[in-house]
Amino acid sequence: MIDFNSKDFGKSFKTLRLDRGYSINDLADNILSPSALRKFEEGLVDPSFTKVLMLLDRMHLGADEF
């Protein structure tokens, strides 16, 4: 089970974003601010589960694939 409050989750998310070639601005667009996404990836904030699902969807991934 994924711990969505873990700093490691944000770091793993960043690795996935970079591996898939998404910039912070492109991925965050209309979901959350680029600064909020950056803070999430640094483990400083925890976005809502819904926002995380929306970000994963933008990368064409489901939560079960992450």
For 58, phi then psi, to 5°, come to -60, -30
Distance between CA atoms of residues 48 and 38, nearest Å: 15
Measured in residues, the chain has a length of 66
Give pTM, 2 decimals: 0.83
pLDDT digits over 47-58, tens only?
Answer: 999 999 999 999
* Matching CATH number, 7-58, of 1.10.260.40, 3.20.20.140, 1.20.910.10, 3.20.20.70: 1.10.260.40
Cβ-proximal residues to 38 (8 Å cutoff; 6+ apart), any chain: 24
Q: What are the structural domain ranges in the chain? A: 7-58
pLDDT digits over 7-64, tens only?
Answer: 788 999 999 999 999 999 999 999 999 999 999 999 999 899 999 999 999 999 988 8
